[in-house]
Structure 1
Amino acid sequence: MLALAALSANPDRFHLIDVRDAEDYAAAHVAGAVHIPLSDLEARRDKLPPGTKPVTICGKGGGRSAEGADMLCNLGRPDALWLEGGTTGWLAQNT
């Protein structure tokens, strides 16, 4: 899990991945987050840039994002995290 404050303090250290569906992503997302639906994450794991920590994001944090981070950990990215508070928490602190 990654706390919102840690992300705000050093955003360039992380590769943000929004794992929600396209409609949710289009409606609102964390600035800089790329859209990779959870169902596509395994197939696109090789596209994640080296040198940054992957951070998965969903609406409230802890559901699909936790599943996505666990998936990436099991696929060889043990540094994967999920964003506490998700998109909802990020927007509440940054808008």
Structure 2
Amino acid sequence: RQRLIEIAVSLALSPKVLLLDEPAAGVPSSESGTIIEVIERLPSDIAVLIIEHDMDLVFRLAQRITVLVQGSILVEGPPEAIAADPEVRRVYLGERVPT
């Protein structure tokens, strides 16, 4: 519930941009769906920047993803392109990429 309160307090300030740093961190998986639903229902005139390691959440919410590795941009693009990117799969999922 604390995360939802934090989001509500932020929205009370009528932001143009909402920065959410790991909104699902420390939240039981039974409650993370509620956080996702709240984010999905935000007005379209609010830009939302999410920093998150929960890739299921990222792929469900994001229209555009920037993947960082050691502080540098590895790749940017729509979720479909990121999910299919061999370097992302190698770095984050430990998959072998054929050479």
Q: If the length of structure 1 is used for normalisation, what is the TM-score?
A: 0.29
Q: If the length of structure 2 is used for normalisation, what is the TM-score?
A: 0.29
Higher normalized strand content (fraction of residues)? 2
**Higher Rg of the two aligned structures:** 2
